[in-house]
Amino acid sequence: MSIIALQDVHKIYPLGQTEVRAVNGVSFEIERGDFISIAGPSGSGKSTILNMIGCIDTPTEGTVLIEGQATGGLTDREITGLRHRFIGFIFQSFNLVPVLNVFENVEFPLLLGKETATKSERREYVDFLIEEVGLSDWRDHRPNELSGGQRQRVAIARALVTKPQVVLADEPTANLDSKTGNAIIELMKRVNRDLDTTFIFSTHDPSIVDIADHVIRLQDGLVIENRRKSPAHEGQ
């Protein structure tokens, strides 16, 4: 069974007297452990689809299924709980809490839900993730003391801390130079491989698109390509 499915999803935004059709009947499925790129030019509907998958926006029409459950009928409290348990977010602008240091930012999502681990277990796991993203030396630094690449690494660690099934990354390399961007994508790929976490990221950078093993290409709110790389291709 697919972990996420979109069925004939439409999203229309009102804009003054007119309306903008951001997504025009999109359907696709995502399997567990996928490393997916949603590609397309600006305005093609990439971010809108990611937002609907991440339950921070709702479709005007159609259905978003997460593990077979339609998200449309859920209350705000249930949706928030689902996001917390199931999804990790990596934002284009990093969106770290400015008053918290690296450790606290990574730990933050753990403190939003029910306590399932002891303080020492929590600290150990957060430190493990910080080490994984290569920021052990920056553990006690605030976001404004970090570079863009470092901030995005913190965001990745934060997205992974609740051990989500899916991590959504909306143009994670857009605010980074190409070298740093590639390193970030490589890091995401490694985590995808090591932890079997599904990664869905949007980008309009062709060089990054090719790293994904499942590419969904959009144009004018429609899927124009839904291509899964063969296992043989994966190694290249």
Partner 1 sequence: MPILFRIALRNLIEHRGKTLIIGILVALGVVVLIVGNSLMDTAREGIARAFIDNYTGDIMISGTAEGPISLFGVQSVGGIDPTPVLPAYADIVEIVEQTESIDRWTTQITGFGFMRPEDERIDGISNSVLTVLFGSESESYHELFDNVRIIEGRYLEPGEQGLMISTDRAEELEEEAIEALADEDIEVDSYPITVGEEIRIIGLTSDGLPSIRVVPIVAIYETIGISEGVGFELVSYIDPQTLRAILRLNLGRSAEIELDDSQTELLDRSGDDDLFNVDDLFGDDALAESDDSSEAESFDFEGFGEIDDEPEESIATEDAEAAALAEGVDPRLASQTWHYVLASVENPRRITATIEELNTAFDEAGIDAQAGNWEVAAGPFATTADVIRTVFNVAIIVIGIVAVIIMMNTLVISVMERTSEIGTMRALGAQRRFVWKMFMYETLAITTVFGLLGVATALGIIGILHWIGIPATNTFLTVLFAGPELKPVASAVSILGGLIIVSVIGLIAHIYPVSVALRIQPIRAIQTD
Rank residues 112 and 195 by Cβ distance to partner 1 and give the closer one. Answer: 112
Is residue 215 close enough to count as binding partner 1 by CB under 8 A?
no
Query: Can you tell me which of 2, 7, 24, 47 binds partner 1, judged by CB under 8 A?
Result: 47
Query: Can you tell me which of 98, 206, 231, 235 binds partner 1, judged by CB under 8 A?
Result: 98
Here the tokens at position 138 are 């920056």
Is residue 163 close enough to count as binding partner 1 by CB under 8 A?
no
As a whole number of Å, the CA-based R_g of the chain is: 18
- Residue type, position 53, single letter: I
CB atoms within 10 A of CB 116: 9
Is residue 15 close enough to count as binding partner 1 by CB under 8 A?
no
Give min distance, CB of 197 to partner 1, in A: 16
Q: CA neighbours within 13 Å on the CB side: how many for 45?
A: 26
Is residue 84 close enough to count as binding partner 1 by CB under 8 A?
yes
The stretch among 2-10, 49-57, 184-192, 216-224 that binds partner 1 (CB under 8 A) is: 49-57
Give min distance, CB of 113 to partner 1, in A: 6
Question: What is the C-alpha to C-alpha distance for residues 13 and 22, in angstroms, rounded to an integer?
Answer: 7
Give the length of the chain.
236
Question: What is the C-alpha to C-alpha distance for residues 102 and 135, in angstroms, rounded to an integer?
Answer: 8
Question: What is the C-alpha to C-alpha distance for residues 152 and 133, in angstroms, rounded to an integer?
Answer: 9
Question: What is the C-alpha to C-alpha distance for residues 121 and 22, in angstroms, rounded to an integer?
Answer: 44
**Residue 191 · residue 156 · CB < 8 Å:** yes
Is residue 25 close enough to count as binding partner 1 by CB under 8 A?
no
Cα dihedral: 180, 106, 103, 140 (round 10): 40
Rank residues 161 and 213 by Cβ distance to partner 1 and give the closer one. Answer: 161
Is residue 77 close enough to count as binding partner 1 by CB under 8 A?
yes
Rank residues 35 and 89 by Cβ distance to partner 1 and give the closer one. Answer: 89
The stretch among 7-15, 48-56, 128-136, 212-220 that binds partner 1 (CB under 8 A) is: 48-56
Q: Which residues bind partner 1 (CB under 8 A)?
A: 47, 51, 54, 56-57, 76-77, 80-81, 83-85, 89, 91-93, 95, 97-100, 104, 107-109, 111-113, 158, 162, 170
